[in-house]
Amino acid sequence: RSESPSTCPVLTKFQRDCATPKPFLRKVADAISDDMRAGLAVQGGGDLDMILTFVDALPSGKEEGLFYALDLGGTNFRVRSVELGGKEKRVVAAESEQLSIPHELMIGTSEQLFGFIASKLADFVAKEKPGQFPLEQGRKREIGFTFSFPVYQTSIDSGTLIKWTKGFHVSGMEGKNVVACLNEAMEAHGLDMRVSALVNDGVGTLAGARYWDEDVMVGVILGTGTNACYVEQKSAIPKLQNKSSSGTTVINTEWGGFSKILPRTIFDQEMDKESLNPGEHLYEKMISGMYLGEIVRRVLLQMCKTSDLFGQFVPVKLSSPFALRTEDLCKMQEDNTDDLMSVGSFLYNFLEVEANLKARRRVVEVCDTVVKRGGRLAGAGIVAILEKIENETKRMASGQRTVVAIDGALYEKYPQYRRYMQDSLVELLGHDLASHVVIKHTKDVSGLGAALLAATNSIY
């Protein structure tokens, strides 16, 4: 009989520390709910920022005309045009182009960065055939601008940059209105275009998914990072300036910032300490794609050092931060052969180690532990949002279907993660409520969503 993979002390302790039994998950969901409420009451009231997006109207399907979307969130940016034909015809035509931002512009001036974007946008527009949507005198084409950096939003079409992230360091931009920067650059390039909606990719996903399905109430991103946005009743937002307002609005939860009562192991603590934002975004550090591989690497390294994972051998590569990617965990977990052949060959190629079956099993067990915890915690976050919606609307209790739209490669490509997430959702919500919830993978709808929000928020 082969030895159980969990007889390794480091692994046994790690599994125990990562456990997320139902009562504990319930506490996590409740703590997230509490922070959601605190963040809705006052700015900075809880770990979740609960940012007002000023998106009060979501796409209905009736939108018509030619709209654009511009997506800047990393080293690439994407431009697209969407021809909307109303309820019946929907998206009549769409064009898109992806371009990369030269590195020197990521650390240059705002004039250079936005000048570059505007010039590429001008090239894109110049390729269009004279359209069936002639511009009326004095009007401009409208753009939905997805800007995935921290922004303090001041209206649907303005927001100031709080700080650059992801390798960007454009001088003199912090505290400036990013929409004004883009509008000025477009004007300088002679473009008859204006930004009508400034959104993040979670809001874009929610809006794009809502266009095809009116029961979509939540948009979640599970990729390198994570975030969630949802439709909230204005009456449930004490911090809203206009107290008498009715109807709904979209809240950007920034849930990655949640940092209470999470099951942090020594490996999580060490990874956090060495991160760019120690002590912050602990939820994101447990559930998003950027970190899952890194946690596994740290555990494996410790197992090599103290539990002879690969005999006396400690592979050099295992000491290199972020060397193991979340994609690699997924690949290893795909192996369902008895002797874990492809896990063996991955370890051989990656670490130059001949891992015996026991070692292969242990490695997979570590991957599964981290992914299980991540998926289940992500499920608890979704439950917190669904229960908040239910508390305000009772829509599920009255039998109404409620859809959560999810985008991001972690969710899309990691079946075990998806399954653990779904399991925890049903465990916490119970079968009755869960039977009205649909989790939908919506790939790449955030650009369409941004263009639609430009239409919904058109000034004309």
- Which chain residues interact with ligand ADP by CB under 6 A? 223-225, 289-290, 326-327, 330, 408-410, 413-414
Nearer to ligand ADP by C-beta: 224 or 458? 224
To ligand ADP, the closest distance from the beta carbon of 413 in angstroms equals 4
| Distance from C-alpha of 272 to C-alpha of 367, rounded to nearest angstrom | 19
Residue 236 is encoded by which pair of tokens? 């449930």
CA atoms within 13 A on the CB side of 306: 10
Nearer to ligand ADP by C-beta: 26 or 331? 331
Look at residues 7, 149, 30 and name the one whose alpha carbon lies nearest to residue 428: 30
To ligand ADP, the closest distance from the beta carbon of 136 in angstroms equals 36
| Distance from C-alpha of 37 to C-alpha of 305, rounded to nearest angstrom | 45
Look at residues 411, 403, 446, 419 and name the one whose alpha carbon lies nearest to residue 71: 446
Question: Is 78 known to be catalytic?
Answer: yes
**Of the listed 47, 71, 157, 201, which one is catalytic?**
201
Could you tell me which residues come within 8 angstroms of residue 394 by beta carbon, excluding any fewer than 6 positions away? none
For residue 62, the tally of other CB atoms under 10 A from its CB is: 11
The CA-based angle 401-405-407, given to 5 degrees, is: 165
Residue 354 is encoded by which pair of tokens? 């001949």
Distance of CA 86 to the CA centre of its chain: 29
| Distance from C-alpha of 118 to C-alpha of 185, rounded to nearest angstrom | 6
To ligand ADP, the closest distance from the beta carbon of 145 in angstroms equals 16
Cβ burial, residue 176 (10 Å; 0-12/13-18/19+): middle
**Of the listed 49, 78, 360, 362, which one is catalytic?**
78
Which residues does residue 141 pair with via DSSP β-bridges, in sequence order? Answer: 193
Nearer to ligand ADP by C-beta: 280 or 327? 327
To ligand ADP, the closest distance from the beta carbon of 222 in angstroms equals 8
Nearer to ligand ADP by C-beta: 155 or 320? 320
Nearer to ligand ADP by C-beta: 330 or 389? 330
CA atoms within 13 A on the CB side of 370: 31
Strands 158-161 and 151-155, sheet pairing: antiparallel
To ligand ADP, the closest distance from the beta carbon of 155 in angstroms equals 26
Nearer to ligand ADP by C-beta: 255 or 414? 414
To ligand ADP, the closest distance from the beta carbon of 223 in angstroms equals 2
Nearer to ligand ADP by C-beta: 60 or 416? 416
**Of the listed 81, 110, 148, 446, which one is catalytic?**
148
To ligand ADP, the closest distance from the beta carbon of 10 in angstroms equals 24
To ligand ADP, the closest distance from the beta carbon of 286 in angstroms equals 13
Does an H or E element contain 204, and which?
A: helix 201-212
Nearer to ligand ADP by C-beta: 375 or 408? 408
Nearer to ligand ADP by C-beta: 78 or 194? 78
Residue 144 near residue 68, CB atoms below 8 Å? yes
Question: Is 268 known to be catalytic?
Answer: no
For residue 215, the tally of other CB atoms under 10 A from its CB is: 16
Question: Which amino acid type is present at position 384?
Answer: A
Q: In angstroms, what CA-CA distances link 260 with 126, 255, 275, 342, 425?
A: 51, 12, 18, 38, 20
For residue 9, the tally of other CB atoms under 10 A from its CB is: 11
Question: Is 148 known to be catalytic?
Answer: yes
Residue 23 is encoded by which pair of tokens? 């009562």
Q: In angstroms, what CA-CA distances link 70 with 75, 204, 390, 428?
A: 14, 11, 34, 38
To ligand ADP, the closest distance from the beta carbon of 226 in angstroms equals 8
Annotated active-site positions, please? 78, 148, 201
